[in-house]
Chains A and B, each alone.
Chain A
Amino acid sequence: MRPILLQGHERSITQIKYNREGDLLFSVAKDPIANVWYSVNGERLGTYNGHTGAVWCVDVDWDTKNVLTGSADNSCRLWDCETGKQLALLETNSAVRTCGFDFSGNIIMFSTDKQMGYQCFLNYFDLRDPQQIEDNQPYLSVPCNESKITSAVWGPLGEFVIAGHENGEINQFSAKSGEILKTAKEHTKQINDIQSSVDLTMLISASKDCTAKMFDSTSLEHIKTFKTERPVNSAAISPIMDHVVMGGGQEAMEVTTTSTRIGKFEARFFHAAYEEEFGRVKGHFGPINCVAFHPDGKSYSSGGEDGYTRIHYFDPQYFDFELEA
């Protein structure tokens, strides 16, 4: 596969995201700049400037109109995708760790870290009500007393938010009442990333306990487990194949200091039904922090600690490959 290297950040990548149609790839990092790229050739479309600290999360709505980012500068900002103009600034008391548009694109959620005496909160804003934005008043703010939220995605119809916590728990928070609808206690350590399948029916959680687990979004039924030897930083579900991709760190002793031309950190591919690893892609010079599949499933991207984002288009053999059964 031919990787396209995106060099636009000075610090390590924190999140990457494709828009619904897949032609754009957004990347945010520990530097204050958010980038957007054409996924077909890696050409940069533009940047979103305004944050003053590390940008932890990014999301784009279904129509590719608005972009949402959350940062360690205690703000969550809304941008116009095409022009790059900042549309709204929502200040918070602590760093914004995760953010997202719901299915309709009308409601946004973001969570704040437990920092400096402030609790972890899950905030909901309705974009159709400009008053909420102006007053910086979320229509719903849910405190998380026990364990802070580390990653979250919206449910399939915008009824609830599925959040992963520092203690490994996964909870469904209602978008109407804020109460916990369902809980899954499958992971034993912090959830690093949660991503939905393209049809939003399933989600995959990547955890520090060296596994990634697949759940049904609505019932939170635990379906599959993918085991590795290293903490998993991020995982994504292929839209067209029964595959998942996972990115994480690497065994310290496996990393050699000799070869510098090609990085040894790998993205690992597992068969979704058999839970077996069938392939690895090398290239990053540091641990992989985020992975994402292109919505058409013909390529995937990974963002690493080395500050690079790599777009990989699959060879035809990838689609023909089958494990014997």
Chain B
Amino acid sequence: MRDTNNMEDEMEYDDGEEEPSFSDPEDFVDDISDQELLGDVLRDKPQEADGIDSVVVVDNVPQVGPDRLEKLKNVIQKIFSKFGKITNDFYPFADGKTKGYIFLEYSAPSHAHEAVKNADGYKLDKQHTFRVNLFTDFDKYMSISDEWESPEKQPFKDFGNLRHWMEDPDCRDQYSVIYDSGERTGIFANDVKEPIEVEERARWTETYVRWSPKGTYLATFHQRGIALWGGEKFKQIQRFSHQGVQLIDFSPCERYVVTFSPLMDTKDDPQAIIIWDVLTGQKKRGFHCESSAHWPIFKWSPDGKFFARMTQDTLSIYETPSMGLLDKKSLKINGIKDFSWSPGDNIIAFWVPEDKDIPARVTLMQLPSRNEIRVRNLFNVVDCKLHWQKNGDYLCVKVDRTPKGTQGVVTNFEIFRMREKQVPVDVVEMKEGIIAFAWEPNGSKFAVLHGESPRINVSFYHVKNNGKIDLIKMFDKQQANSIFWSPQGQFLVLAGLRSMNGALAFVDTSDCTMMNIAEHYMASDVEWDPTGRYVVTSVSWWSHKVDNAFWLWTFQGRLLQKNNKERFCQLLWRPRPPSLLTADQIKLIKKDLKKYSKIFEQKDRLSQSKASKELVDKRRSMMEDYRKYRERAMDMYNEQRPLRLELRGGVDTDELESNIDDWEEETIEFFINEEIIPIGDL
């Protein structure tokens, strides 16, 4: 309270009453805290710590003067308010222009994260691409210690020569066999006489096996994931943990493995499909997946640089090794039905069906440029299927159409000639329904099975250089539902699998002759070896419970072996890596083929008289038994000697020369031959 005396001095009152003073004394300190008084307001007081997590730093912002600042702020606001409410912004100035970086504060840290995720790399214009970072990140990176510790060195795991099987002096290809209804898996080398067992293990895989595309690894399936085996002794090279894995796929270069499991997918952590790095075993990226109906979901470009998948109206192309989307975004293709990579180049073919008045289209797109190198319009399309030739030289699009005014479905083959300028397209019309279609590998022919059971026909076409596609030959009344070309081309097997009771026809397409017609009753699979010399037909226990076996034929259809295996399930040839020879070297070898043939024939003759290991063992044991018997017999024989001497009056006849003293020597001359040799005039 103020001194009333002072008050009189300071103030002049009109004649009236004295006002009471409500002032605090000068030395009064109140004992009520701010919290008690203003609690609710204090709660909203901005904290220094709060702000930091929600702050982003945007770099590469155009440097503008104050006249353009308003416009800049509007643009920033428009772009960045998409991620959340911007509560604060700060545009530092220097020399009359904005510095080029700004600070934005969001109402929550999650908004800041969104901004970083989506706006980082945003191209404002040609010269300005935003870089967006969390403010806290700066801190993090600044506080990294200056001292660099080198990462711990992992011990080198030597798996030996992973290509060991290629060094077999007799060039025997290997194949995996699963039998005993999956209990046993064996690896065999293909010898003409009989399969040579290389490795065999019980419960090596829980379901089935797969070879990597170049044959380096054998992948086995287990509840907990995939294991890769290789090298001479098939040691375990790598393991990928993916609970409940069902399907796998390899990149063509064998650097990556894609695994699918329907079990462990969660919203935040996509785990349905995982891509792994083979050499390090690291998980590279996970993806969601709704259904595994069309495995492989991810299709690889032939050089392994890209992989792509199709979802509703979208084609997502990713690049390796970053595993990120190419150009950071997917392609929007409305209605996309199917796509596939060319096996020879980084070209994707895809098709979209009719959309109101826009006809159906097949498009060929070059990656990574995304240039559409060819578009083909198709009319009245019901369905399309894409068939690439093995080297990417040709693409065949099988188009099922319902021509206007009719109700039936007609099929055309649109043949794209990829190696010619501007990719010309030729059409082959088919009069009957198509059962199977297959390109000749390394060649320019294709085979078509058409018609309806029981009248099935096979036609062979040749795509010629002069722009024509000729029907070379047609065979009718075939018992076939599948076409299997030799991987080197020229020869093929027409097979009537499963319901057609295993009818087989071996064809040489160079002159379209039937080399042999045979049968493997109830055959379920046909597999060519990678060189095209042998064909294996097999009856799998998975499709037929009796007579499980695999038969080995030559490419001409001569049956070599019948291998019965208890509950045989699957045979897969081990693929070969691409040849290291140049085209010129191959030409040279072909020229000298006669010379090499002689050496091989000699070797073959020798090997035919060489016995297999099993035979040798059997012989050894037989000889041992025989010797033992002979010993016993000779013992008895020797015991009986006195009896023998007695029977023959003391004359020892046990050996031919026993009584040599009794022998008389007589020299007889008899006429053998006469030869007249003229000595000449003496």
| A-to-B contact residues, CB < 8 Å | 20-22, 41, 43, 62-63, 103-105, 156-158, 199, 201-202, 216, 218, 223-224, 242, 272-276, 295-296, 323-325
Shortest 5 CB-CB contacts between residues of A and residues of B: A104-B647, A273-B626, A325-B619, A201-B633, A324-B611
Interface residues of B in 613-645 (CB under 8 A from A): 616, 618-620, 622-623, 626-627, 629, 633-634, 636-637, 640, 643-644
Q: How far is the CB of A234 from chain B (nearest CB, A)?
A: 22
The answer to the question of B320 belonging to the interface, with a C-beta cut-off of 8 Å to chain A, is no
Contact B616 A324, beta carbon cutoff 8 Å: yes
What are 23 of the A-B contact pairs (CB < 8 Å)?
A103-B648, A104-B648, A105-B648, A157-B644, A157-B647, A199-B637, A199-B654, A201-B633, A201-B634, A273-B619, A273-B622, A273-B623, A273-B626, A273-B627, A274-B619, A274-B622, A276-B619, A323-B611, A324-B610, A324-B616, A325-B619, A325-B620, A325-B623
Interface core residue of A20, A216, A218, A325 (most chain B CB under 10 Å): A325
Closest A residue by C-beta to B626: A273
Closest Cβ of chain B: how far from A293's Cβ, in Å?
13
In whole angstroms, what is the CA distance A201 to B610 when docked?
33
> How far apart sit A199 and B618, CA to CA, in the bound complex (Å)?
28
B670: Cβ under 8 A from any A Cβ? yes
Kindly report which residue of chain B lies nearest to residue A103, judged by CB atoms.
B647
How many A-B pairs fall under 8 Å by CB? Answer: 60
For the A-B complex with A20-B653, A223-B626 known, give 15 more contacts whose Cβ atoms are closer than 8 Å: A21-B656, A41-B670, A62-B648, A62-B653, A103-B647, A157-B647, A199-B654, A202-B633, A273-B619, A274-B618, A274-B619, A274-B622, A323-B619, A324-B611, A324-B616
A224 to B644, CA, bound (A): 27
Interface residues on B, range: 20 to 34
* Min distance, Cβ B31 to any Cβ of chain A, angstroms: 112
A232 to B501 CA separation, bound complex (whole angstroms): 40
| A242 in contact with B626 (CB, 8 Å) | yes
In Å, the complex CA distance between A107 and B541 comes to 67
Q: Which residue of B lies closest to A104 (CB)?
A: B647
Residues of A within 8 A of B637 (CB): 156, 199, 201
Q: For residue A63, which residues in chain B have a CB less than 8 angstroms away from its CB? A: 648
Closest-by-CB residue of A relative to B646 is A104
Contact between A157 and B629 (Cβ–Cβ < 8 Å)? no
**Chain B nearest CB, measured from A100 CB (Å):** 15
A276 to B670, CA, bound (A): 40
Nearest residue (CB) in A for B643 is A157
Q: Give min CB distance, A124 to chain B, whole Å.
A: 16
Give the CA-CA distance A216 to B625 in the complex, in Å: 14
Least Cβ–Cβ distance between B6 and chain A, in angstroms: 134
B residues near A325, Cβ cutoff 8 Å: 611, 616, 619-620, 623
Check A218/B636 contact, CB under 8 A, given A295-B656, A296-B656. yes
Q: How far is the CA of A21 from the CA of B656 in the complex (A)?
A: 7
List residues of chain A with CB within 8 A of the CB of B647. 103-104, 157-158
B671 nearest CB across to chain A (Å): 10
Of B611, B633, B647, B648, chain A has the most CB atoms within 10 Å of the CB of B633
Contacts of A216 in B (CB 8 A): 629, 633
Closest Cβ of chain B to A245, distance in Å, is 17
* Contact A275 B611, CB 8 Å, known A62-B653, A296-B656: no
Min CB distance B284 to A, Å, is 53
Q: In the bound complex, what is the Cα–Cα distance between A322 and B637 (angstroms)?
A: 27
Q: Which of A223, A276, A296, A324 contacts B629 (CB 8 A)?
A: A223
